[in-house]
Amino acid sequence: MIKQLTPLPEFLVSRYKNWKSNSYPNSEGHFKNLASYGQNPSSMVISCCDSRVHATAIFGADAGEFFIHRNIANLVPPYSPDDKNHGTSAAIEYAIKELKIQHLIVLGHRDCGGIKNGHNLHSNNLNPDYEFINKWLSILLPAFKKIKTNIPKLKQIEQLEEESIKISVINLFSFPYIKKAVEEKNLSIHGLIHNIGSGGLKFLNPSSEEFENL
Ligand SMILES: [Zn+2]
């Protein structure tokens, strides 16, 4: 199998060499410190795989600052320890138990393909070609049940983007050590939605339980 691999494409090799020659020297000390002393990020970000979501750029974060987990539609599944593979839950467990992060941010975004697919799935229009995506997007069902159905589809999807983050926050609290860390004020949880085109950022206001402009 490994013999079937091909060399890294030239455009990536040249981009890497350009970074190593021009950018790396400016931060060499920072990287060497990170390598020597290990990571100590203050925050975990759970964001979508979407290539347009640039979590480090919008917060001006440097290497070592954010522990980032990306998945389809930035979802958090409910706490369910069993014999299955749970990539998202494993990342959350490591962030809390080992890194002891102080802030956990669920970073959603507008125009999310995962959320659109989730809307289709729960509107009885699932894509039968998907072998993993439909199961993953079943996490959205409680959010889908909360959206209005007598409004245009685009508005429904916007609502689903917001409700999905609320469900992920609720699911975070189903992890006993997250609930404990929040109650002991060692951890704060934040829900955000980023508008890629406008650069806008909305936050889930805990008082109103609605998304408001930052
Ligand atoms: Zn997305």
- pLDDT string in tens for the chain (214-residue length): 999 999 999 999 999 999 999 999 999 999 999 999 999 999 999 999 999 999 999 999 999 999 999 999 999 999 999 999 999 999 999 999 999 999 999 999 999 999 999 999 999 898 999 999 999 999 999 999 999 999 999 999 999 999 999 999 999 999 999 999 999 999 999 999 999 999 999 999 999 999 999 9
CA distance 187 to 207: 18
Distance between Cα 19 and ligand 1 center (Å): 28
At residue 184, the pLDDT reads: 98
At residue 166, the pLDDT reads: 98
Greatest extent of the chain over all pairs of C-alpha atoms, in Å: 57
CA distance 45 to 190: 9
From residue 168, give the alpha-carbon distance in Å to each of 36, 63, 107, 162.
35, 26, 10, 10
């706490």: which residue's tokens? 79
């004020």: which residue's tokens? 185
Distance between Cα 180 and ligand 1 center (Å): 29
Q: Are 174 and 142 in contact (CB under 8 A)?
A: no
Q: Which residues have CB atoms below 5 A from the ion given as ligand 1?
A: 48, 50, 112, 114
Question: Which pairing describes strands 43-48 and 66-71: parallel, antiparallel, or unpaired?
Answer: parallel
Distance between Cα 75 and ligand 1 center (Å): 10
Q: Which CATH architecture has domain 40-213?
A: 3-Layer(aba) Sandwich (3.40)
Distance between Cα 125 and ligand 1 center (Å): 19
Distance between Cα 31 and ligand 1 center (Å): 30
- Phi then psi dihedrals of residue 47, to 5 deg: -130, 175
At residue 34, the pLDDT reads: 97
- Model pTM? 0.96
How many beta carbons lie within 10 A of that of residue 21, not counting itself?
A: 9
Distance between Cα 181 and ligand 1 center (Å): 28
- Sketch the domain layout of the chain as residue ranges: 40-213
Closest CA to 105 of 92, 87, 123: 92
